[in-house]
Amino acid sequence: MKHNAKYFFLLPGVVWVLLFTLFPLIYSLYLSTTNFRMGREPQFVGFENYAEILGLDGEGGDEKAAQTAGFSAFIMVGSTILTIVLGTFIAWIFNHDLPFLKQMRAIITMPLFAAPVAVGFLGVVIFNETNGPINNILQGIGLGRVNWIIDPNPARWAILLTDVWQWTPFVFIVVLAAMQGIPDDLFESAKLDTKSSWVLFSRITLPMIAPALGTVLLLRLVETIKMLDIPTTLTRGGPGSVTQTYTFYIREVGLRGSFQLGDASALSYLVVIVAIIISSIYFWRMRARYE
Amino acid sequence: MSTVAQLPNASTDAISTQNKVRRPLRPDRLALIGLALFWTFIAIAPFLFALTTSFKTQLDSIDGTVIPWLQYEPTLLNWQQEFGSGGAETFKTLRSSALISLGATVLATTLGTLSGYGLARFKYGIGNANIVSWFLSQRFLPPIATVIPFVLLFQQLRLIDTLPGMIIVNTTFTLPFAVLIMRDYFAEFPNELREAALVDGASEFTTFLRIALPLAAPALVAAAIICFAFSWNEYLFASVLTNRDWKPYPMMVAGTDSVRGIMFNFVSTRMIIAVALPVILSLLVQRFIVRGLTFGAVKG
């Protein structure tokens, strides 16, 4: 009886993940080796889809996939770096004895809980070219107006900045929690030697929050690969297709137009591989805690 | 990760700081307060701008003004249109969103609480760390990789555009949050409580129901709110698996694209409606946000 009890608790969750995560994932792997299109019988083609995407068949590969992957990489690197630098800086500010800390912290975490689709529209309103607040501010300080939605590079940055706005709070609260876990006496003794905030930060705070920063880094990388909602509403992938992310492109291939489910599955499995690499590092780091 | 695991659980409500003694240097402190206020402003300003825009006419919505009454005459027109004349679709999608999110929340927290309790209280042969990682891996998967198999499966099972279908999808996404939050919370209670109850002759399940569960109420509420918020915000699967009957509100938001270009006033109204509930709920779970969102890797 006692032996059965422990499985009674665990099993329902495990079965759920088997059915709705693992099974679809394996099914998707199978689909990626077929030429399946909606309304047609799938035929096994081996690794042909992958070869076509990567250009291993000698035809130059899928240019659109490369282009959208490039934009996704821009978002991954840009947003991860910016959110971590900004979030850590704000956490450092809040790790002082300031008035209304709790209230300000609660307000700062708000963007995290807003639907990304809606956040994209928030971007539309804020980056509005004729009279949006950002262009009005830029005009006010003499930098002139920017065509955020129409011009390719500003459009890329509009997406990046919107994502940074939404996710900086995530880095902020996690890093702040880690900073608050640093014992006070470490600082007390160090303050006898130096008064420089920078020295205190780089010699004590930074090494102490490094594990938390590692966690944040991996989670941000994984989260940015998925990006789809913000470009969907902010720029609709435009101008042209410059702000289409890789995920955006997969949706175009597999779930619009000719529904090339085989190709789309192969495209998405390439992201799965990247995600598996990132998550392996994550799990390897957190194993100790859950043994 | 061991360093993080060993961090003392800093009191989460009262923010502890490294500098308990007030600094004598006033300009220093003022600069810090200024910076803190600045970012607080950045975080909330877009919401406020959308809110003020939602009370404008279409003509006023592109003139860049922000202060009602002083700079422009506020109007309830957009809100009336969203909930009045064109309200049927609004209410329908909001109702779908609510039912889908509630269903997923109940399922995910139930499964998550059971599994979380199991992982906190028992040792499993495969290794508890492996099982936890396994639950978490769902969160690391790009959802686009499972959306295509879901379409095909749901077609077979006739689950496209149905309430059960959408509940299944959102339960799958939010389950890792529930498992991790509950597991961590249960793990903090001394095991003696459970053992004492068992010695008194209670079964494992009664012990769980009568002793562990009531103690875990705060975590349960937090897990539920986080699951609810993420289900409420989900868009990719909704855009592929629903079309008419069970379209949730984010689909309505995304579909605001008007033929004559974007109407900022109207977009803003929908934006505010879409974000209001989860953002307000988030204020109730501050204590759990850090652990919930890092899956327990960082204690908050």
Task: Please give the residue of chain B at the shortest CA–CA distance from A95.
Answer: B17
pLDDT higher than threshold 90 for residue A86 = yes
pLDDT digits (tens, 9 = 90+) for B186-202: 988 888 878 888 888 88
Q: CA B128 to CA B123: how far, in whole Å?
A: 6
pLDDT digits (tens, 9 = 90+) for A9-60: 999 999 999 999 999 999 999 999 999 887 788 888 888 899 989 988 878 8
pLDDT at residue B8 in the model: 40
Q: CA B243 to CA B240: how far, in whole Å?
A: 8
**Measured between CB atoms, does B19 come within 8 Å of chain A?**
yes
Q: Which chain A residues are Cβ-neighbours of B122 within 8 angstroms?
A: 6, 9-10
Which residue among B33, B144, B147 sits closest to A98, beta carbon to beta carbon? B33
Which residue among A25, A229, A285 sits closest to B146, beta carbon to beta carbon? A25
**Residues with Cβ < 8 Å from A144, sequence gap 6 or more?**
A138
Q: Which chain B residues are Cβ-neighbours of A279 within 8 angstroms?
A: 136-137, 140
Q: CA A257 to CA A268: how far, in whole Å?
A: 17
Two structure tokens written together for A231: 């470009």
End-to-end Cα spacing for chain B? 15
Reading phi first (left if > 0) and then psi (alpha if -120 to 50, else beta), residue B202 is in: beta
Distance from the Cα of A9 to chain B's closest Cα (Å) equals 5
pLDDT digits (tens, 9 = 90+) for B5-40: 333 444 444 444 444 455 455 788 889 999 999 999
Q: Which chain A residues are Cβ-neighbours of B94 within 8 angstroms?
A: none
- Percent of chain A whose pLDDT exceeds 70: 97
Coil, helix or strand for B282?
helix
- Answer whether B178's CB lies under 8 Å from B227's CB: yes
pLDDT at residue A291 in the model: 56
Residue A34 has φ and ψ, to the nearest 5°, of -125, 170
CA angle B23/B29/B30 to nearest 5° reads: 150
Task: Please give the residue of chain B at the shortest CA–CA distance from A124.
Answer: B264
For residue B149, whether the previous peptide bond is cis, meaning omega lies within 30 degrees of 0, is: no
Question: CB B279 to CB A110 under 8 A?
Answer: yes
Q: Which chain B residues are Cβ-neighbours of A277 within 8 angstroms?
A: none
Question: CB A290 to CB B132 under 8 A?
Answer: yes
Which residue among A211, A261, A287 sits closest to B3, beta carbon to beta carbon? A211
Instruction: Give the pLDDT mean for B103-128.
Output: 93
* pLDDT band (50, 70, 90) for residue A227: very high
pLDDT at residue A94 in the model: 93
**Measured between CB atoms, does B248 come within 8 Å of chain A?**
no
Q: Which chain A residues are Cβ-neighbours of B298 within 8 angstroms?
A: 174, 177-178, 212, 215-216
Work out the angle between the directed axes of helices A206-225 and A152-180 (0-180°, nearest 10): 140
* pLDDT band (50, 70, 90) for residue A290: low
* pLDDT band (50, 70, 90) for residue B87: confident
Q: CA B50 to CA A19: how far, in whole Å?
A: 41
Averaged pLDDT of chain A: 89
Between residues B261 and B130, the one the model is more confident about: B130
- Answer whether A87's CB lies under 8 Å from A203's CB: no
Coil, helix or strand for B72?
strand
Predicted TM-score (pTM) of the model is 0.89
**Measured between CB atoms, does B103 come within 8 Å of chain A?**
no
Q: CA B263 to CA B77: how far, in whole Å?
A: 13
pLDDT higher than threshold 50 for residue B43 = yes
pLDDT digits (tens, 9 = 90+) for A149-201: 889 999 999 999 999 999 999 999 989 989 988 888 888 888 888 878 888 89
- Answer whether B55's CB lies under 8 Å from B76's CB: yes
Q: CA A173 to CA B133: how far, in whole Å?
A: 23
Question: CB A178 to CB B7 under 8 A?
Answer: yes
CB pairs under 8 A between A and B: 352
* pLDDT band (50, 70, 90) for residue B258: low
CA distances from residue B221 to A55, A80, A185, A270, B181 in whole angstroms, order as listed:
50, 31, 35, 37, 10
- Answer whether B165's CB lies under 8 Å from A247's CB: no
Question: CB A121 to CB B300 under 8 A?
Answer: no
Task: Please give the residue of chain A at the shortest CA–CA distance from B174.
Answer: A17
Q: Which chain B residues are Cβ-neighbours of A216 within 8 angstroms?
A: 294, 298
Q: List B68's β-bridge partners, or say none.
A: B72
Distance from the Cα of B124 to chain A's closest Cα (Å) equals 8
pLDDT digits (tens, 9 = 90+) for A105-130: 999 999 999 999 999 988 988 998 88
Distance from the Cα of A222 to chain B's closest Cα (Å) equals 6
Residue B72 has φ and ψ, to the nearest 5°, of -150, 160
pLDDT at residue B19 in the model: 47
Q: Among B180, B273, B282, which residue's Cα sits nearest to residue A166? A: B282
Instruction: Give the pLDDT mean for B209-235.
Output: 91
Q: CA B134 to CA A290: how far, in whole Å?
A: 12
pLDDT digits (tens, 9 = 90+) for B46-75: 999 999 999 988 888 777 788 888 888 888
Q: Which chain B residues are Cβ-neighbours of A268 within 8 angstroms?
A: 142, 144-145, 148
* pLDDT band (50, 70, 90) for residue B289: confident
- Based on its alpha-carbon atoms, the radius of gyration of chain A, rounded to whole angstroms, reads 23
Q: CA A119 to CA A44: how far, in whole Å?
A: 41
Q: CA A153 to CA A150: how far, in whole Å?
A: 9
Work out the angle between the directed axes of helices B26-53 and A152-180 (0-180°, nearest 10): 130
Two structure tokens written together for B20: 């308990």
Helix residue spans in chain B (DSSP H): 2-6, 26-53, 77-83, 87-121, 128-140, 144-156, 163-188, 191-199, 204-207, 213-215, 217-233, 236-241, 249-254, 264-282, 286-293
- Answer whether A69's CB lies under 8 Å from A217's CB: no
* pLDDT band (50, 70, 90) for residue A288: low
What is the predicted ipTM? Answer: 0.89
Q: CA A43 to CA A37: how far, in whole Å?
A: 10
Two structure tokens written together for A157: 């940055």
End-to-end Cα spacing for chain A? 24
Distance from the Cα of B23 to chain A's closest Cα (Å) equals 9
Coil, helix or strand for B177?
helix
| DSSP string across A258-286 | T--HHHHHHHHHHHHHHHHHHHHHHHHHH
pLDDT at residue A154 in the model: 94
- Answer whether B43's CB lies under 8 Å from A107's CB: yes
Question: CB A109 to CB B290 under 8 A?
Answer: no
pLDDT digits (tens, 9 = 90+) for B149-161: 999 999 999 999 9
The full 3-state SS of B94-145, as one line of letters, equals HHHHHHHHHHHHHHHHHHHHHHHHHHHHCCCCCCHHHHHHHHHHHHHCCCHH
Q: List B72's β-bridge partners, or say none.
A: B68
